[in-house]
Structures are given as structure tokens and as C-alpha cells.
Amino acid sequence: MRKAFSMITAIFVIVIMAAVSALVLSLSGRMTKATAIQYRQEQAALLARSYTELAVMAVMNYDRDTAGNCIEDIDGVVNGTVPGVASTGSSAAGSGYNVQTRIYYIGDALPCSGTRKLNTAAISTDYNDTGTPHSSTTAAIIVDVYVRYKDPDVDNPATAPWITYHRRTLQKI
């Protein structure tokens, strides 16, 4: 009788340990996946910030004296490839980031004649303290950065939908 009770106790302890091990393994897998997703999101945010700074520097250092001579797009692929772009890795398979930067110009002081110059005549006139309109000698840009990536944990990353992180910045130049 005593040996049977010891055997039942041992089996019960083994079943409890197996259940706890399965729970720990399940939670560990979920935490690993959540960490990977958070890493990809943070990487996209940092890339968006970097490309925003690159766009601002490119616009400020670019020769805008000639009419129509303005930067409107800055595109890039980081750690992968996009169909039609030669690079290493495979962004289509879920390993990289596709970055698209769009620059819009605001202000009549710029000689840009591109398609992304916003019409300032449609904006309401800002008046100074004397009741006269401010002069429009200042210029600004709007920088839209779209960072697209795929979830690498999907069964078939080639058909997985893109996840897009968007950052918009208004910068006086």
C-alpha cells in the first residue's frame, strides 16, 4: 500500500511539473514574439526619424536657386530587397524595411515648380500687430516618411501584408 501511494504521488508530481513546464514554454514563446514585434516597430520609428533628418539636411544643402530644382523623394531599402531594387537579403520575404520619403514645399519664397509645392494662396493670411499681412519670405517643408516592413513570423512572408509606420514633420527652412 505504501509503495502504491509513493507511485501515485510521483506520477502526480510529474504531471504537475509537465503542466508548469508547458505554461512556462508557452509564455516564453509569446514574450519572444512580442519582443520581436516591438523591436521591428522601434526599428521602423528610428528609421523614420533618420530619414526625416536626412531629408531636412538634403533640402537645406540643395541648390534651390534654379526654378524647379527641388528634392521631392528620397527612397531607400534597409536590410533587404524590394522587387525591382538590387540589394542583399529579401524584404519581400520579410527581412528588410522599405523607406519612402516625400517632401512637400510651403511658401512663395521657394523657386520650386515641382508637383509637391503647396498653394499658399489658399491658406488664410496671417496678420501682424499693425493689421497688415506678414510677408511670405519664409519657407517650410513637410516631410512624410513611410517605413514598410513585414512580420517575419508569418507562415508565408512573401504574401504577408505590409506593416507601415508613418511620420510627418513640419520644418522651417
The string of pLDDT tens digits covering residues 86-139 is 444 444 555 789 999 999 888 766 667 666 677 665 555 555 555 555 555 567
Give the cell for residue 86: 538590387
Does residue 141 or residue 154 have the better pLDDT?
A: 141
Comparing 171 with 124, the larger pLDDT belongs to 171
Q: Which residues of 16-52 are buried (b: 16+ CB within 10 A; e: fewer)?
A: eeeeeeeeeeeeeeeeeeeeeeeebeebbeebbeebb
pTM greater than the 0.75 cutoff? no
Number of domains forming the structure of the chain: 1
Residue 38 belongs to domain spanning: 2-172
